[in-house]
Amino acid sequence: MSFQIEINQRIVTVKLEKRKNIKHVYLRVLSPNIIEIKTNIYYTLYDAKILIEKKIDWIENSILRLEEKNISEDEFLYLGIRKKLEDYKIKNLDTFYKKEIVKYLPNLVDEYSKKMNLFPTSISYRKNKRTWGSCNYKNGLNFNILLMKFPIELMEYVVIHELAHIEHKNHSKNFWNLVEKYCPDYKQREKIFKSFL
C-alpha cells in the first residue's frame, strides 16, 4: 500500500508495508522521493499520516542530507533545489555562489536589521568549513557562500542569529530569546545545519 504527500513543493511517495511479525513502527527515507514505513498489520493509513506529520522535520532534514550526498557531478544545489551545471554555464561553483549570495543576503540583513534594530558595521562572504556565519567584536558579519545551497528560510535563520550577536556576544538565554522572537522555529532550522557539519 502506498500514498503520496507533498514536502517542500515535492511529491513524495510513502510506502506502507505491513507484516505480522513486526512489533514496532520503522520509518525510513529511502530517497528524496520515497519514504518507507514498516509496521504491524493493525497499523492504518490514518496512523501512517499522523506519523508523517509528527516526524515532518526529521523527514525534511533527511531529504536534504540525501540531496547533498546523492548529487551528481553535473549538478549542484541552489536554494534547496537541484540544478544542472550546464544550464547555468558554471565553471567554478564557489565563484558562482559568491556572486549569487549578494543577490539575497544584503536584502535579508537589511530587512531583519530594521526589524531587530541591530545594524552591522560590514558584511563579507567567504567559504567556511565549520560555520555558516559569524559576528566579530566590531559587529561586522561574515556569511558562508555555501548558504546558497539551502532553502531561503535557512539563510534567514543565519542572518537573524548573527544580528542577535550584535547585542549578545555569547549564546546566553537572552541571546536565544532574541533569536526566538524573530525566528520562533529556530531549533528546527538549526538541526538541519548541524546535520551538514
Q: Which CATH number do you get for residue 160?
A: 3.30.2010.10
**Is the same domain home to 155 and 82?**
yes
Match 567559504 to its residue by C-alpha cell.
127
Domain end among 53, 69, 85: 69
Q: For the whole model, what pTM was predicted?
A: 0.67
Domain residues for 24? 2-69
Rounded to 5 degrees, φ, ψ at 55 are -105, 15
d(CA 9, CA 85): 22
> For position 196, what pLDDT does the model report?
55
**Is the same domain home to 21 and 111?**
no
> For position 194, what pLDDT does the model report?
67
d(CA 68, CA 64): 6
d(CA 31, CA 48): 18
**Is the same domain home to 135 and 163?**
yes
**Is the same domain home to 6 and 53?**
yes
Q: What is the full per-residue pLDDT of the chain (197 aa) written as tens digits? A: 888 888 777 788 999 999 888 888 999 988 888 899 999 988 988 999 999 989 888 888 888 777 766 677 788 888 888 888 888 888 889 999 999 999 999 999 999 999 999 999 999 999 987 789 999 999 999 999 999 988 888 999 999 999 999 999 999 999 999 999 999 999 888 877 666 54
Q: How many domains does the chain have?
A: 2
